[in-house]
């Protein structure tokens, strides 16, 4: 176990750096759009971080299943993800209601959207995320369900092959966008393909898969991204921006992987620990600060100072205790069924 933890320590650095990239993207596009405009037109730092996150998830979730059954995995994931998310979602809903942004929709639709968001599966019913960064969590859970299905069939080592189908689904969804002139969530299957690449990468590192097989899947993904982005239609994501940002996310993960044996960072490891809380809560810090009369540079500095602090407090006082609670609960033996009486 200790050897495995040393082998995957670099994943914490990636989580930390990726969460920082997402926060920086959102802060600078609000507080310094002029200075940030040229770079953002070609490269979206938030998308770089998101792609890296999904590679990390694809890498680490199959490793979790080596030491956990499905019951243990689901208990620990639930305690790990939902409480912090529900708190941040609740704050976001209050803010949306207070600013009148929910008033343009019928109460029934709002109620349905809130219920769907509480499950993290709002994306499956094509509803928006009321907590802006949480759109990725639906994709995360679909990947979990995929891995659980393969785990229950005793075929988890082969789950990465679905990456080819997800990549094909991305290109197909992009083509349907063009043909029907509709906006579809084509990035949904693309990021699932990215997770499958992370799974393949982990199997290669464990000596259970050839480098050629990993590179073949990676090449399919690298080629599909510009093809799908050119075919599809998305005014906010021109093909070059979409492609460069996605490729940069892959390169970002690869760079950390290459130096994993020769370099470490206590700072990034700390950010890795609070990465989930930072990812969910940074917008809740950004929103009120950008609605003050403070000068933009002051808002920028305040955001970068307060976001890690808020995330640290969330992680220490909510996330970490409930992670420990989930671990303790998952270790409890199941209650035996009472014997039937004659």
CA 248 to chain centre: 16
SS3 154: coil
Using a 10 angstrom Cβ sphere, with 0-12 exposed, 13-18 middle and 19 or more buried, the burial of residue 165 is middle
pLDDT band at 308; cut points 50, 70, 90: very high
Q: Residue 102 and residue 217: Cα distance in Å, rounded?
A: 42
Residue 339: per-residue pLDDT: 40
> In angstroms, how far apart are the furthest CA atoms of the chain?
80
Q: Residue 163 and residue 196: Cα distance in Å, rounded?
A: 5
SS3 237: coil
What is the percent of the chain where pLDDT is above 70?
Answer: 93
Contact 17, 52 (CB under 8 A): yes
- In the predicted model, what is the mean pLDDT of residues 53-71? 94
Of the given ranges (17-21, 165-169, 265-269, 337-341), which has the lowest mean pLDDT? 337-341
What is the percent of the chain where pLDDT is above 90?
Answer: 81
Please determine, for residue 133, whether its predicted confidence score (pLDDT) is greater than 50.
yes
Predicted confidence (pLDDT) per residue in 245-299, tens digit: 999 999 999 999 999 988 889 999 999 999 999 999 999 999 999 999 999 999 9
DSSP label at residue 316? I
Residue 336: per-residue pLDDT: 46
Please determine, for residue 39, whether its predicted confidence score (pLDDT) is greater than 70.
no
- In the predicted model, what is the mean pLDDT of residues 196-219? 96
Q: Residue 170 and residue 307: Cα distance in Å, rounded?
A: 34
Whether the full predicted model's pTM is greater than 0.75, yes or no, is yes
Helices (DSSP H) in the chain: which residue ranges? Answer: 2-7, 10-31, 33-42, 45-65, 70-98, 107-118, 135-152, 162-180, 187-205, 211-231, 239-258, 266-273, 275-290, 296-314, 320-331
> Locate tokens 């999904």: which residue?
54
Q: Residue 132 and residue 89: Cα distance in Å, rounded?
A: 9
Residue 222: per-residue pLDDT: 98
CB-based contacts of 171: which residues, under 8 Å, 6+ apart? Answer: 224, 227, 228, 231
For residue 83 the two structure tokens come to 């409480």
Of the given ranges (27-41, 170-184, 195-209), which has the lowest mean pLDDT? 27-41
What are the residue ranges spanned by the domains of the chain?
Answer: 2-331
- In the predicted model, what is the mean pLDDT of residues 127-156? 96
Residue 38: per-residue pLDDT: 60
pLDDT band at 37; cut points 50, 70, 90: low
Distances (CA, A) of 319 to 118, 222, 226, 281, 282: 17, 35, 38, 12, 15
Pick the more confident residue, 334 or 213: 213
Please determine, for residue 162, whether its predicted confidence score (pLDDT) is greater than 50.
yes
């Amino acid at each position: 176990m200790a050897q495995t933890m040393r082998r995957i320590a670099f994943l914490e650095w990636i989580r930390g750096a990726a969460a920082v990239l997402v926060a920086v993207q959102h802060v600078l596009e609000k507080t310094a759009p002029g200075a940030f405009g040229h770079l953002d037109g070609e490269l979206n730092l938030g998308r770089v971080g998101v792609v890296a996150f999904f590679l990390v998830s694809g890498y680490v979730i199959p490793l979790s299943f080596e030491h956990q059954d499905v019951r243990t995995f689901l208990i620990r994931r639930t305690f790990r993800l939902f409480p912090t998310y529900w708190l941040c979602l609740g704050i976001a809903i209050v803010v949306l209601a207070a600013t009148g942004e929910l008033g343009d929709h019928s109460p029934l639709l709002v109620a349905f959207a809130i219920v769907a968001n509480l499950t993290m599966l709002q994306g499956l019913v094509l509803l928006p995320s009321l907590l802006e960064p949480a759109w990725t969590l639906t994709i995360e859970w679909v990947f979990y369900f995929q891995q659980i299905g393969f785990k229950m069939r005793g075929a988890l080592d082969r789950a990465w092959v679905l990456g080819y189908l997800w990549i094909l689904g991305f290109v197909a969804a992009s083509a349907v966008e063009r043909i029907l002139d509709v906006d579809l969530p084509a990035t949904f299957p693309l990021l699932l393909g990215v997770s499958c690449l992370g799974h393949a990468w982990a199997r290669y590192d464990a000596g259970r898969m050839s480098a050629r097989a990993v590179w073949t899947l990676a090449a399919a993904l690298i080629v599909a991204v510009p093809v799908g982005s050119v075919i599809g239609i998305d005014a906010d994501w021109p093909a070059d921006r979409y492609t460069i940002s996605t490729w940069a996310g892959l390169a970002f993960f690869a760079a950390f992987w290459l130096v994993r044996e020769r370099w470490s960072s206590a700072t990034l490891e700390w950010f890795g620990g609070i990465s989930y809380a930072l990812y969910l809560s940074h917008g809740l810090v950004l929103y009120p600060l950008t609605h003050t009369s403070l000068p933009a540079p002051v808002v920028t500095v305040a955001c970068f100072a307060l976001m890690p602090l808020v995330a640290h407090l969330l992680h220490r006082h909510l996330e970490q205790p409930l992670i420990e609670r989930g671990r303790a609960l998952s270790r409890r033996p199941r209650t035996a069924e009472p014997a039937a009486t004659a």
